[in-house]
Amino acid sequence: MASKVWSTFTAKKSNGSEVKLRIQDMPADKFEEVLIFLEDYYINNNVFYKIVGFSKNPEAVKESLDIMRQMLQGSPHSIVVCCEDKGDAVGEIVGVTVTSVITNKENLDDFLNLNFKTKEVAEIFAIYGELLKLYDVFKGKNIDRFADDRGLAVSIDYGVEVLKELLNVRRKLCKELNTPLSVIWALSNDVQRAAEAAGWETAFEVSREEVGKKTGVKITEEPVTYKIMIGKSL
């Protein structure tokens, strides 16, 4: 069965060349390639992974990927890839977005109180645990379910244009997932700009200094504020 194609478009690479791209559901045989891509462009570029020194400990990277593999294989997720459009073939993957539906019946502690092998992974989960306490999407938007972010990454050869298209597809996915909206913590200027361009709205905003106080880490990288952004169903 052919993977569903969500979008086709042309984008410029960092070298100025134009490439025809398409966004489609991930073919099953691309799963491991997607995990490697997320390691290269999500884990290695995420501000909090950098702060805790993730890349300096190969065991932490391995544990994080193992957790991600188990998570994606163990419960329903929507994994969408942006790739070079090669007709029937899936060309080079240049972007990935992963979403999962969560409901107000789920217990946040089940997600946070896992047994971790490395201190870096434990620190990452603790940081995100503090972020999740800052704003209750269910109460704030009066909903009982939404499509939550499980990973968003784009190759260094591309930028905001591809991020925008992936976030636009996330809004389209809401109808298929039977959710009123999609949610993401926008932790970089590029993601914030792309989300705004794709019609997402800011539901909550907090300074990096406040996040630093809550999490006990020193943050010096841009942006100066982090945002919870909402993409309504298309």
Kindly report the number of other CB atoms within 10 A of residue 8's CB atom.
12
For residue 109, the enclosing domain spans 5-232
Bridge partners for 23 per DSSP: 7, 82
Binned at pLDDT 50, 70 and 90, residue 112 comes out as low
| pLDDT at position 111 | 63
8 A C-beta contact, residue 157 and residue 94: yes
Mean pLDDT across 142-160 = 95
CATH code, domain carrying 78 = 3.40.630.30
Binned at pLDDT 50, 70 and 90, residue 159 comes out as confident
Compute the distance between CA of residue 110 and CA of residue 108 in angstroms, rounded to an integer.
5
8 A C-beta contact, residue 103 and residue 144: yes
Total domain count for the chain?
A: 1
| pLDDT at position 89 | 86
| pLDDT at position 88 | 83
Binned at pLDDT 50, 70 and 90, residue 110 comes out as low
pLDDT tens, 3-20?
Answer: 899 999 999 999 999 999
| pLDDT at position 106 | 81
The token duo for 104 is 């107000």
| pLDDT at position 76 | 78
DSSP E strand boundaries for the chain = 5-12, 18-25, 78-86, 89-103, 145-154, 181-186, 201-207, 225-232
pLDDT tens, 61-92?
Answer: 999 999 889 888 877 789 999 999 988 889 99
Q: 3-class SS at 130?
A: helix
| pLDDT at position 29 | 94
Q: What percentage of the chain carries pLDDT values higher than 70?
A: 97
Mean pLDDT across 206-227 = 92
Place of tokens 């042309």: 10
Mean pLDDT across 200-222 = 93
